[in-house]
Structure 1
Amino acid sequence: MFRIIGVFLLFLGSVFGLEPSYQLKLENNIIDVNYVENRLLVGTDFGEVIEVKFEKEFENITKKVVLKLPDISNFFGDFYPPKVFSVDFLEGRLLVNSEGSEGAKNLFVFKEQLEKLPIALNIKKAAFVDKDKIFLGLMSNEILLYDLKDSKILYQKQLSEATFSDFTLSEDKKYFLVSCESGILYYGKTLNGEILKEFSGLNKDNVYEAKMGFQGSDIVIIAAGQDRKVGVYFGNRMQDYTKEADFLVYSVGLSLDGKIGAYMKNEMSDIAVFEINGGKEMAILKGHKNLLNSIIFIDDKNIVSAEDGKNILFWKLP
């Protein structure tokens, strides 16, 4: 009998208490992490964009600084490195949204030279749509599409009076999903700003971020709530539901096929991995020491997570 119990507990430990397969420690604090074109791009609080590359199964992990932004100044004339708020990459070019002098924001495109874009707006996040257009989310909860070639705004749209939190684009860049302070999620078309659907009701407070995937043609959304709830929305096929966390949910992740989700489970920043269809937990990932800011599915078996500190953790699911 005791042997059976021991084997059962060992089984639970192997499924629900996974440790990272690798931990990468940076020299400065992490602000943003993006996975694009088989690389991680990390923005830090020291004006850096760091490229992290790895082979299949997280082998041969390497890092290098690909951009160091010039120092900025505060109202007292003191100079210091800017925070990098968001990073994107397309066709050899970096798009970098960073802190500017005296409380402003700077938006840069970098390939061989650093080009500052003439946009004087309070930008929270920026992403490439294609080589000529970028999608921006503003602190005022406005979205806009900007033409790089002609240096003009193609559209600018106010979503609500609530404070902006985050956005994500679909893999093909055709659709956006915006999260904000109201708990409402806005799903729409990137090229014209048309809102196709509002998702609401699961989170009653600020949604820090949301991710989307697709099960066939049906959209799946996972939302990180300040109300300690993870919201899971389906376009049409299944009933929406929530999962309770033990702390504010600062970060969530979703596999591209929309079948596996992950979220920050507690104040120790343990990560719960679960089946989207039904909500069954698959694993608990333990290893972070600071609050999470990113959970990224490389595929349905490999996850990368980063914290408001210096550590990036790499996980292999069983």
Structure 2
Amino acid sequence: MNTVKILLVIFVISFLNANEIIPTKTLNISAGATDLVINNDKLFVSTSAGIINIFNLKDFKLISNITIPQIKNFMGEVINSKIYSIDVLNNKVLILSQGKKGARKIDIFENGKIRNIISDEKQLFIARAKFINDEKIVLSLLSNELLLYNVNKKKIIYDKQISQSRFSYFALSENKKEILIADESGNLKLCDVKTGDLLKTYKGQNLDNVFQVDFKNEKIITAGQDRRAVFYSKNDTYYKESNFLIYSCALNSKGTLAAYSSNENNDVTIFDTSSRKDLHLLKENKMTLTKILFIKDNEVLVASDDNKINYYKIKE
């Protein structure tokens, strides 16, 4: 039996051992989801339609919406401003969205008003942005430059070229002192947020672009174009293999559970990171996944390009 057949057998057996689960509840959102953030018992969902839907996390009832002003495209047509990422800190919402002529802009929504932080006139092609504290945000450009930016002074603190490979995604440590950056090389770079200095490189596991990465409790999971979900910890490194591109991944708060999009049906496999055993298979996701988020160990949200988010309550 050749290597491909052996891997296929292992893959099938693993799925047969996983407990299939259908959504407990489905949330209707304005358009395809681009980012999910939980803050103060609220779920913030950014969408490709330029709208942020805010839900009560206890009953998933819609509380309110934040709508970004529309923009003009290259043809002069008025279109919705796609939101690429969001973050929430002290009742402030950080919003990275599409600007004029393909550039990106960053705004902060606070007290019912939108305040511009970085204008699209600067022609920065920002891919992702998150709060560090009330004064500073960290952002990555598509060119894989890492920037620390002072919001109040509107000043770049540093601008570091992380690598020559195109940027894909980043995740912050819980204390926001470290940032893990993924790119099309498959390598991961761990950097110091305060200085932008490189601390460590993880390489040799993903062989192509890493679409997403999560970083919790000094543990890492990746979502790879090479169909590998790689798990890193201090004591172990291994990967789970899929029969399809892996677009999304997530860890629970302790890093004891990991989830990844595991097949062409957009199912999500949850596995125990210590035993490597597949535990659950989350079903009925209709489109390409964009975000997986653990609320608790037994509660998971799965978002996609669809205008619905699936919520799974797993029996313990």
TM-score of the aligned structures, taking structure 1 as reference length: 0.90
- 2:304 maps to 307
* 1:300 Cα deviation after fit: 1.2
* 1:117 Cα deviation after fit: 1.6
Residue 132 of structure 1 is aligned with which of 116, 132, 135?
135
* 1:15 Cα deviation after fit: 5.6
* 1:150 Cα deviation after fit: 1.3
* 1:26 Cα deviation after fit: 1.9
* 1:13 Cα deviation after fit: 8.5
- The amino acid across from 1:75 in the alignment is F
Native 8 Å contact 1:48 1:65 kept in 2: no
- 2:227 maps to 228
- 1:267 maps to 264
- 2:314 maps to 317
- The amino acid across from 1:150 in the alignment is K
- 1:18 maps to 21
Native 8 Å contact 1:35 1:296 kept in 2: no
* 1:14 Cα deviation after fit: 10
1:171-198 superposed Cα distances (whole Å, 9 cap, x missing partner)? 2211111110000111122111122111
- 1:204 maps to 207
1:121-145 superposed Cα distances (whole Å, 9 cap, x missing partner)? 1100110000000000110001110
1:224-303 correspondence runs (5 A): 224-234=223-233, 236=234, 238-303=235-300
- In 2 relative to 1, CA 65–46 (structure 1 residues): closer, same or farther, beyond 3 Å? farther
Residue 156 of structure 2 is aligned with which of 153, 156, 160?
153
Distance across 1 between alignment mates of 2:40 and 2:258: 22
Secondary structure at the aligned position of 1:201 is classed as: coil
* 1:75 Cα deviation after fit: 2.1
1:273-317 superposed Cα distances (whole Å, 9 cap, x missing partner)? 000113111111111011111110112111111011111011122
Task: Report runs of 4+ in structure 1 exceeding 4 Å deviation.
Answer: 12-15
Native 8 Å contact 2:18 2:278 kept in 1: no
- The amino acid across from 1:317 in the alignment is I
What residue ranges of structure 2 are gaps of 5+ in the alignment? 1-14
Q: Which moved more, 1:131-140 or 1:23-32?
A: 23-32
- The amino acid across from 2:40 in the alignment is E
What residue ranges of structure 1 are gaps of 5+ in the alignment? 1-11
RMSD over aligned Cα, in angstroms?
Answer: 1.6
- The amino acid across from 1:291 in the alignment is T
Aligned length: 297
1:43-95 superposed Cα distances (whole Å, 9 cap, x missing partner)? 1122111112222xxxx211244311111001221111110111111111111
Corresponding position: 1:181 with 2:184: yes
Distance across 2 between alignment mates of 1:41 and 1:49: 7
* 1:98 Cα deviation after fit: 0.3
Distance across 1 between alignment mates of 2:81 and 2:64: 15
- In 2 relative to 1, CA 161–13 (structure 1 residues): closer, same or farther, beyond 3 Å? closer
- The amino acid across from 1:114 in the alignment is I
State the percentage of identical aligned residues: 33
1:232-278 superposed Cα distances (whole Å, 9 cap, x missing partner)? 111x3x23101111100000010110100000010101110000113
